[in-house]
Structure 1
Amino acid sequence: MPRKVKIDPVDIKIVRLLSENARLTYKELAEAIGTTRQRISRRMNKLEKMGIVQKYTVIPDYEALGYSHIVLGITLKPGAKLDDVVSILKDKEHVKIIQKALGTHNLVVHVVAPKDMKEIQSIIESITSDIKDIDHLDITFITETCKFQTF
């Protein structure tokens, strides 16, 4: 039987610090937490193997880059196969985040597209045209991200 690895307060501190700045070195993490670089290295390996730390990434300012950030709230018809829809969406170039959801929508899909409205319309149509079981689609344009905190 595989040994279950526990997450402790030091692991939580590491994840919080990295969620604020993923560029921190092991030395900087160790100094912030009051431990050694070697201990941070071992813990980071553990957190990555467990899938707790999945990705180190950049959060771009889409507006400054000349793009629009659009959120699609997709409600599927009863009986639709959610995983089949997710598979279709994963292959779409402009789809950046796909989230399964409970509530009004089955899926929340983040799209990044050039600011031209005709192009946005075309991109949204190309994303949704392959999904046969859409019951309702809400489109929201993100105008400003006031807070983005991962943990």
Structure 2
Amino acid sequence: MKPKIKLDKIDRRILEILQANAKITNAQLANEIGLSPAPTLERVKKLEVSGIIKSYHATLNNEKVGLGVSTFVMVSLKGHNKTNIEAFTQAINEIDEVIECHHITGSGDFILKIIAQDIAAYQKLMLEKVTNIEVVDNMQSLVILSTFKDSKVMPIP
């Protein structure tokens, strides 16, 4: 793990503002943090180069783009070893509908977040792709009925 980068009050404010609105112009950002545009841009570049800011994304409305079913799937592997973990993660990275994959502790080895058009598309995905991954032992699906919080904003310590 890389050593933590020291963030001052201005860096923290930049991160808060960019998380709320990544499309803000440098001039607007500079105005909000009380610096001129050049040092503001330098600070943002420093946060990007250091890896604190990993990327910028548009958040889409799943339903409006035709993805009406979201699930979490707990996956257990046939054996919890490096070879199986690498085989599983390589296979999962080839499935676009798997939008998150987390290595976890507890009763399963991984938890996946999967999106699909509808239940039929989800079932087809599971039968034709996920269950065909050789190292998968068993799975438990949890269909998301509704979401009450889905924040992408990280609290800055």
> Which of the five TM-score ranges fits, normalised by the shorter chain?
0.7 to 0.9
Q: How many angstroms does 1:74 deviate by?
A: 1.6
Flag the 1:78–1:118 CA change in 2: closer, same or farther, 3 A.
Answer: same
What CA distance in whole angstroms lies between the structure 2 residues aligned with 1:23 and 1:141? 33
> Contact (CA 8 Å) 2:74, 2:112: kept in 1 or not?
yes
Residue 7 (structure 1) shift? 2.5
TM superposition shift of 1:38: 1.5
Against the structure 1 CA distance between its residues 148 and 7, is the aligned structure 2 distance closer, same or farther, given a 3 Å change threshold?
A: same
- Name the amino acid aligned to 2:140: D
CA shift, 1:53, in A, is: 1.0
Alignment deviations for residues 68-122 of structure 1 (CA, whole Å, 9 cap, x no partner): 222222222443432331111111122222222233432222222111x222101
In structure 1, what is the equivalent of residue 122 of structure 2? Answer: 120
How many residue pairs get aligned? The number is: 147
Shift of residue 27, structure 1, vs aligned partner: 1.8
Q: CA deviation at 1:42?
A: 1.0
- Kindly indicate whether the alpha-carbon contact (under 8 Å) linking 2:88 and 2:136 is maintained by their aligned counterparts in 1: no
Partner of 2:98: 95
Which residue number corresponds to residue 129 of structure 1? 131
Comparing 5-14 with 33-42, which one deviates more in the overlay? 5-14
C-alpha distance in structure 2 between counterparts of 1:53 and 1:113, whole Å: 29
CA RMSD of aligned residues (A): 2.2
- Between 17-26 and 131-140, report the one with greater CA deviation: 131-140
Give the letter aligned to residue 42 of structure 2.
R
The aligned runs of 1:2-151 (5 Å cut-off) are: 5-67=5-67, 68-80=69-81, 81-115=84-118, 117-150=119-152, 151=154
With normalisation by structure 2, the TM-score equals 0.79
Gaps of 5+ in 2: none
Asked if 2 retains the 8 angstrom alpha-carbon contact of 1:71 and 1:111, the reply is yes
Identical aligned residues as a percent: 22
* Shift of residue 139, structure 1, vs aligned partner: 1.4
Q: CA deviation at 1:55?
A: 1.4
What CA distance in whole angstroms lies between the structure 1 residues aligned with 2:9 and 2:107?
Answer: 35
Distance 1:28 1:89, change over 3 A: same
Unaligned runs of 5+ in 1: none
SS in 2 for 1:137: strand
- Give the superposition deviation at 1:5: 4.9
Q: TM-score, normalised by structure 1?
A: 0.81
